[in-house]
Structure 1
């Protein structure tokens, strides 16, 4: 594109989002121009969609994101800054600006999602190591009626080492969560880690033994001024440490208003940790443990009690939540399940999400097949479809499927079919990962083939239904 074309393209984008006076700030990632606007109702999506060079657009998290593609987005962004007289900002800074537009519920869900993003590499690494350990210890996978370490005892110690490496991130998950949650909420990250460590201190009753201790009426307690406080750890939990980190951050902010600066580094950490830790064992922990258990039990009931029907329901609801950004609310329950992987065996939600993503990709690729004469739509649909198969669905959902409507409906049907099969076959993941074709690496070894079959079902059903819907739509047009 020439310099003149870039200027014209940028001018059209500015006009399409309500003009320069409607723009608050902007940033970009590798493929998308991200804009925060004063009034989203002024966006003319149809006009933006017709701009030459624009591959799609969607509104999410308080940002209007325009898909331009690698290379082009950098040129447009620089020209965008010139034409709007804005200062350059990074993605994180733009997120902060955009978050001010969100309501309370959306801010809470965004904060929950932001807590887990930095932790994901550790959990993915642990999950893959766990998968490697499963390969060595799964009976009959490589040797008939026997495990690898049973057939080759020289690998036993290696498997034990890998198992320790794999479990570490989950064993100390409250510390990781405490650190990043405190950071997100504006507290001191290392104090958040301390709170997380206190909650899994070895002198406490292990959280995994709490249920049996309740049944046996043997829960240990502290007796403080006549009040009994359960002396129980929070292994395998997520919400309690997030709640504790929130209280810690708010406590620090309040204390710093009254404590002299020269004493701040001594008194503030002391009082903040003392108050937060005490309040955690008195109220935050017990309450949030119950809420977390409700969430986990609800998800497990959906999958293991309703079976394929529950999986199909999740497969339909998930992409609808993606449109609104509410899918972030599912992160917490997913983490809670993975934190209890020793007892639950894995998470049933990952395969369903992957089936949903592949269905969106299949719908976009069906559009690529159908729109033989529309060069622009073919270019958008092909790239968006492949991206969705790899786990990134926004270009397909917002750039293709929702725009045409019937591909999105077809994707819901395909997602339900693939999700129902994955749930029926009890396909479980051992960690987070890319929710698409590459996601097979985080699936239990005994479920890997069934995972790929589930994705194949989601793809084929969606592709066929999209074409059928297109034919039906053409038939109605001819009748009219």
Structure 2
């Protein structure tokens, strides 16, 4: 099996202009990411014809080849064995930035690099919240002759540890990741995050609900930043940059003592008295705007978001939405983004399935059907870049299907109990009275995109029939 992947790796290297044309290689869940010296030396048609390649595109200075989950790891391993320099995604992002990427894309990529490492914690917490919500429903408890009041308080407290910890200490996770990303010492990031949610500060949730009074220092109100995102992000950014600046100016003799002391002191002052209050207001406003979109009457917000969300995936900036989802869950315990986004994902799967059913090309069939499975599991890149966007119209029909599903999801007022999983795995976030409606909108999104693509969105070309 390894010989096959070695062959694929050799063909990839040759197709993009040879080893001398590759600056570095990295990979994510589905894509092999190459930074090339000369983009023009890459032969796109040859790349597209390589076995197991599901598509390719060039964006943000990276030549990205879609292989799909699992396969990309094996191809990358063989590419590395053949002598191509391997780097992490964050290191590649820095290299691309140095090549002149615009500030907006650099900012989005930085956000992604910081929030992606903490997504597993959010996924687990979302599942815990969903399961807890199901198990504590009166209908479920009644099957066992129980009520919420009859459950031991210690057991309820145990379940709350599972569901509340990640959000209560979210600034700790973010500051750790930010310090790591910006070159600081991660343990100092953890300390900054812990200080932002210190028990010596009034609980931020309690202050927001009016059950606690904030501390006042120099006329500025202070409270804990439980579940806050932006204050922790900027505190991590400033703290890491400050630490690096101090280390360059403090002698080795005093570095171990003064650098962490000054880093923590100055960062905390900035975090509680300057950054925190401003960033927290921005954060509240951002969530308010997004929430307002999803609560527009007659399903308009869902129609808009369902229709454009996969366009955002094409740009590669979709990971930034995790900020909104995290904050929305922290503030309201509900995620309005997930159900509409899941509809858009299911619609792209439906469009790719229609292409696979209609084409006579063996290669396109081999691309289409596996990409449908990946999309239904929440990963749409193979379907989008390997099939739908390749023929354009299927992608557009997928956007239409996503808009229809999002419209219905908005009308039904669907809302997830967590984040991080979507489409079919996302069912675990709706294990309550929303479950039948969630399945319905997923099926409709898939069906609309499938029907439109099959009838109007794809015409099998003669040159593809012999493949």
Q: TM > 0.5 between the two?
A: yes
Greater alpha carbon shift after TM alignment, 151-160 vs 262-271: 151-160
Task: Within 5 Å, give how 1:232-243 maps onto structure 2.
Answer: 232-243=223-234
Partner residue, 2:305: 314
The answer to whether the Cα contact below 8 Å between 1:427 and 1:444 also exists between their aligned partners in 2 is: no
Question: How far apart, CA to CA, are the structure 1 residues paired with 2:187 and 2:71?
Answer: 41
The answer to whether the Cα contact below 8 Å between 2:55 and 2:67 also exists between their aligned partners in 1 is: yes
The answer to whether the Cα contact below 8 Å between 2:5 and 2:75 also exists between their aligned partners in 1 is: no
Greater alpha carbon shift after TM alignment, 441-450 vs 379-388: 441-450
- Distance change (3 Å), C-alpha of 1:52 and 1:81: same
Question: How far apart, CA to CA, are the structure 1 residues paired with 2:348 and 2:106?
Answer: 27
Question: How far apart, CA to CA, are the structure 2 residues paired with 1:472 and 1:5?
Answer: 33
- Superposed CA deviations along residues 35-75 of structure 1, whole A, max 9, x for unmatched, are 11234455443442234553322335543222346887677
Partner residue, 1:402: 389
Partner residue, 1:459: 446
Question: How far apart, CA to CA, are the structure 1 residues paired with 2:77 and 2:448?
Answer: 43
Partner residue, 2:198: 201
Question: How far apart, CA to CA, are the structure 1 residues paired with 2:223 and 2:272?
Answer: 8
Confirm whether residue 357 of structure 1 aligns to residue 341 of structure 2.
no
Instruction: Select which of 276, 279, 290 maps to 1:285.
Output: 276
Confirm whether residue 172 of structure 1 aligns to residue 182 of structure 2.
no
Question: How far apart, CA to CA, are the structure 2 residues paired with 1:165 and 1:428?
Answer: 20
Confirm whether residue 431 of structure 1 aligns to residue 426 of structure 2.
no
Question: How far apart, CA to CA, are the structure 2 residues paired with 1:442 and 1:435?
Answer: 9
- Distance change (3 Å), C-alpha of 1:447 and 1:60: farther
- Distance change (3 Å), C-alpha of 1:365 and 1:142: farther
Q: What TM-score, normalized by structure 1, do the two folds share? A: 0.86
Give the 3-state SS of the residue equivalent to 1:445 in structure 2: coil
1:235 to partner: Cα distance: 2.0
The answer to whether the Cα contact below 8 Å between 1:179 and 1:190 also exists between their aligned partners in 2 is: yes
Confirm whether residue 275 of structure 1 aligns to residue 266 of structure 2.
yes
Give the 3-state SS of the residue equivalent to 1:230 in structure 2: strand
Count of residues in correspondence between the two structures: 460
Task: Within 5 Å, give how 1:6-25 maps onto structure 2.
Answer: 13-14=12-13, 16-25=15-24
Greater alpha carbon shift after TM alignment, 442-451 vs 134-143: 134-143
The answer to whether the Cα contact below 8 Å between 2:335 and 2:419 also exists between their aligned partners in 1 is: no
1:151 to partner: Cα distance: 7.5
Question: How far apart, CA to CA, are the structure 2 residues paired with 1:420 and 1:388?
Answer: 20
The answer to whether the Cα contact below 8 Å between 2:97 and 2:106 also exists between their aligned partners in 1 is: yes
Question: How far apart, CA to CA, are the structure 2 residues paired with 1:345 and 1:5?
Answer: 45
Greater alpha carbon shift after TM alignment, 205-214 vs 442-451: 205-214
Partner residue, 1:117: 116
Question: How far apart, CA to CA, are the structure 2 residues paired with 1:111 and 1:71?
Answer: 25
Question: How far apart, CA to CA, are the structure 2 residues paired with 1:211 and 1:31?
Answer: 41
Partner residue, 1:246: 237
Task: Within 5 Å, give how 1:128-277 maps onto structure 2.
Answer: 128-140=127-139, 143=142, 149-150=146-147, 153-154=150-151, 157-211=154-208, 219-223=214-218, 228-277=219-268
- Distance change (3 Å), C-alpha of 1:249 and 1:31: closer
Give the 3-state SS of the residue equivalent to 2:295 in structure 1: helix
Question: How far apart, CA to CA, are the structure 1 residues paired with 2:374 and 2:20?
Answer: 34
Give the 3-state SS of the residue equivalent to 1:446 in structure 2: coil
Question: How far apart, CA to CA, are the structure 2 residues paired with 1:54 and 1:472?
Answer: 22
1:19 to partner: Cα distance: 4.8
Question: How far apart, CA to CA, are the structure 1 residues paired with 2:159 and 2:250?
Answer: 48
Instruction: Select which of 394, 411, 414 maps to 2:401.
Output: 414
1:78 to partner: Cα distance: 6.6
Give the 3-state SS of the residue equivalent to 1:241 in structure 2: helix
Confirm whether residue 441 of structure 1 aligns to residue 428 of structure 2.
yes
- Distance change (3 Å), C-alpha of 1:174 and 1:458: same
Partner residue, 2:32: 33
Question: How far apart, CA to CA, are the structure 2 residues paired with 1:435 and 1:127?
Answer: 11
Q: What TM-score, normalized by structure 2, do the two folds share? A: 0.88
Structure 1 gaps of 5+ residues are: 475-480
1:29 to partner: Cα distance: 6.1
Question: How far apart, CA to CA, are the structure 2 residues paired with 1:267 and 1:2?
Answer: 52
- Distance change (3 Å), C-alpha of 1:149 and 1:165: farther
1:213 to partner: Cα distance: 5.5
The answer to whether the Cα contact below 8 Å between 2:116 and 2:319 also exists between their aligned partners in 1 is: no
Task: Within 5 Å, give how 1:340-379 maps onto structure 2.
Answer: 340=331, 344-371=332-359, 373-379=360-366
Task: Within 5 Å, give how 1:47-62 maps onto structure 2.
Answer: 47-60=46-59, 62=61
Question: How far apart, CA to CA, are the structure 1 residues paired with 2:159 and 2:36?
Answer: 49
Partner residue, 1:389: 376
The answer to whether the Cα contact below 8 Å between 1:138 and 1:148 also exists between their aligned partners in 2 is: no
Question: How far apart, CA to CA, are the structure 2 residues paired with 1:150 and 1:121?
Answer: 32
- Superposed CA deviations along residues 316-365 of structure 1, whole A, max 9, x for unmatched, are 2211111111212212111111222xxx2301101111111111111111
Question: How far apart, CA to CA, are the structure 2 residues paired with 1:311 and 1:72?
Answer: 35
1:28 to partner: Cα distance: 4.8
